[in-house]
A and B are shown apart, each in its own frame.
Chain A
Amino acid sequence: MPATPLYIICSPRPQVGKTLLARLLAEFLLLKNGNVAAFDVNLKEPSLLDYLPKVTETADVIDTYGKMQLMDRVIVDDGLAKVIDLGFHAFDEFFKMTDEIGLLKEAARRHVAPMILFVADTDRVSARAHEMLRGQIPRMNLITVDNELIIRGELPPAMAGGRLFRLPALPGFLKTYIDRLNFSFTGYLRQEKDSSTELHQWIRRNYLAFRELELSLILQRS
């Protein structure tokens, strides 16, 4: 039985595509497994809760109670994949906590597989944050997300060495289209008969990349 995946999508920077990635991933898991539990720790940015209210609940890491409410739910091996959309404002506090409470060790004990998806940027804050994560998270569990719309070129060398997830850029008009609150990626795949459209291919490419991520998780465990 594969370990229960826990995806943590994060960045210390706002507006780098965290919620977009969380939406895509949550919809992929929903399509593949029929269920997903998403947690929105993202109150100051576009919110996952607005897009996927049926599977998302809000969470915070401001105080110990909030941390318990979130972490005690996600560290359970119940076969239900979890996605945390971690807002930039909560980045430092969240990873300070995970370091203190030993998230990675406890996850291994409980048959839970955390995957940290760090959405990269080229600024110094991101560089420092990535360095901190490299010190805390094993290489296999840390995935650097290269959002082409943000990076616009090569990833900083320090970030390019580990596992990568490339999020291709979409033309501006399509970006506006998918940003509508009632837009569903899976819904689009089902409704749009022409599979050659740019958006169709973009969604399928990302879903395939998530599938590969999952497979690597299984291979890593076996």
Chain B
Amino acid sequence: MAKPAVVVVGADKGGVGKTTVSRTLLDYFSANNVPTRAFDTESPRGTLKRFHPDITEIVDMTTTADQMKIFDTLNATSPSVTVIDVRAGLLSPALASLRDIGFLDAAKAGQITFAVFHILGPSIASLDEIAETAGFMTGAKYFLVKNFINDTQFFQWDQATYNSYFHRIKDATELTIPKLNEMAYEQVEVSSVPFLKFVANKGIHDEAANYSFVLRGYVRHWLANVWSEFDRIRLTDIVGSKPVTRNSEK
């Protein structure tokens, strides 16, 4: 049996696209036949749950009861991958909690696979976040995600300054999420379906839908680019699954 894998998606800043990246991850695992469950820490609302209601549970990561719900079930549940969409401002406290409960030590000892997708915003504050997060990353796969989906320009960044932060973390890997056409993004939001279902022209219950071919095309193209980034970092290998030929590639 593969060892459990936990993928944390977070940032200390709001509106940088954490949930969007979480959604692409869930679609990616689904397309690669990797059994996955998700936790949405945006309690009590939960945007991620709106798109992936069957596999997502809303939790409050600051409570011990919900921490137990996530981490005490890692070995007991059948899905080998757990994706946690961490609410804005909670990434550093969440990592501190994981350290306190011994989770990070377990990751360091190789008992658990632990990956962090740190979504970066355009402001210099994001670079400070990297420095803050670095202290927790021993034993984890750390991915710095530049998310251009909401047309972020990263205008405040001086590349040399960014590099100085980036190199503080050993084995950090950079990922780029490209921009998605605004209208296509909006239409998926309105439809409240996973990107995969939108591309397949299906509704939330797999019923036939009538989305625009143009918008579906834009989403398909964008999702393929995002997934090629995930393929590049060998995400299925990281979570202990074998890569499969996805439907869209057949």
Q: Which residues of A contact B (CB under 8 A)?
A: 64-65, 67-68, 71-72, 75, 97, 100-103, 106
Please state if A64 and B183 are interface contacts (CB–CB under 8 Å).
Answer: yes
- Contact A100:B221 (CB < 8 A) given known A64-B182, A65-B183: yes
A68 to B221, CA, bound (A): 16
Please state if A100 and B213 are interface contacts (CB–CB under 8 Å).
Answer: no
Mostly, the B contact residues are helix
Number of interface residues of B (CB under 8 A): 13
Please state if A67 and B214 are interface contacts (CB–CB under 8 Å).
Answer: yes
For the complex formed, measure the closest distance between the CB of A72 and the CB atoms of chain B, giving whole angstroms: 5
Please state if B213 and A75 are interface contacts (CB–CB under 8 Å).
Answer: yes
B230 within 8 A of A: no
Please state if B181 and A64 are interface contacts (CB–CB under 8 Å).
Answer: yes
Please state if A101 and B182 are interface contacts (CB–CB under 8 Å).
Answer: no
Q: Point out the residues of chain B lying under 8 angstroms from A106, CB to CB.
A: 213, 217
Q: Point out the residues of chain B lying under 8 angstroms from A68, CB to CB.
A: 183, 212, 214-215
- Contact A102:B220 (CB < 8 A) given known A64-B181, A64-B182: yes
For the complex formed, measure the closest distance between the CB of B144 and the CB atoms of chain A, giving whole angstroms: 27
B218 within 8 A of A: yes
- Contact A71:B214 (CB < 8 A) given known A64-B182, A64-B183, A64-B184: yes
A106 to B221, CA, bound (A): 13
> Which residues, 216 to 230 on B, are CB-close (under 8 Å) to A?
216-218, 220-221
A117 to B183, CA, bound (A): 30
Closest chain A residue to B219, Cβ basis: A101
- Contact A100:B218 (CB < 8 A) given known A64-B183, A64-B184: yes
Closest chain B residue to A74, Cβ basis: B213
Please state if B183 and A101 are interface contacts (CB–CB under 8 Å).
Answer: no
Please state if B215 and A64 are interface contacts (CB–CB under 8 Å).
Answer: yes
Q: Point out the residues of chain A lying under 8 angstroms from B218, CB to CB.
A: 64, 100-101
Closest chain B residue to A75, Cβ basis: B213
For the complex formed, measure the closest distance between the CB of B217 and the CB atoms of chain A, giving whole angstroms: 2
A68 to B215, CA, bound (A): 7
Closest chain A residue to B182, Cβ basis: A64
Seed contacts A101-B216, A101-B217; 12 additional CB < 8 Å A-B pairs: A64-B182, A64-B183, A67-B214, A68-B183, A68-B212, A71-B214, A72-B214, A101-B213, A101-B214, A101-B220, A102-B221, A103-B217
For the complex formed, measure the closest distance between the CB of B181 and the CB atoms of chain A, giving whole angstroms: 6
Closest chain B residue to A97, Cβ basis: B214
Q: Point out the residues of chain A lying under 8 angstroms from B183, CB to CB.
A: 64-65, 68
Q: Point out the residues of chain A lying under 8 angstroms from B216, CB to CB.
A: 101
A72 to B213, CA, bound (A): 6
Contact pick for B213, options A64, A65, A71, CB 8 Å: A71
Pick the most buried of A71, A100, A101, A106: most chain B CB atoms within 10 A of its CB: A101
7 A-B contacts (beta carbon < 8 Å): A64-B215, A65-B183, A72-B213, A72-B214, A100-B221, A101-B216, A101-B221
* Contact indicator per residue, chain B 177-201, by CB within 8 Å of chain A (1) or not (0): 0000111100000000000000000
A146 to B182, CA, bound (A): 40
Closest chain B residue to A66, Cβ basis: B214
For the complex formed, measure the closest distance between the CB of A62 and the CB atoms of chain B, giving whole angstroms: 13
Please name the 7 residue pairs, one residue from A and one from B, whose CB atoms are nearest each other, closest first: A101-B217, A64-B183, A100-B221, A68-B214, A68-B212, A71-B214, A67-B214
A103 to B213, CA, bound (A): 9
For the complex formed, measure the closest distance between the CB of B120 and the CB atoms of chain A, giving whole angstroms: 26
Closest chain B residue to A61, Cβ basis: B214
- Contact A72:B212 (CB < 8 A) given known A64-B184, A65-B183: yes
A65 to B216, CA, bound (A): 13
A42 to B233, CA, bound (A): 45
Closest chain A residue to B221, Cβ basis: A100
A25 to B183, CA, bound (A): 34
A18 to B50, CA, bound (A): 49
Closest chain B residue to A107, Cβ basis: B213
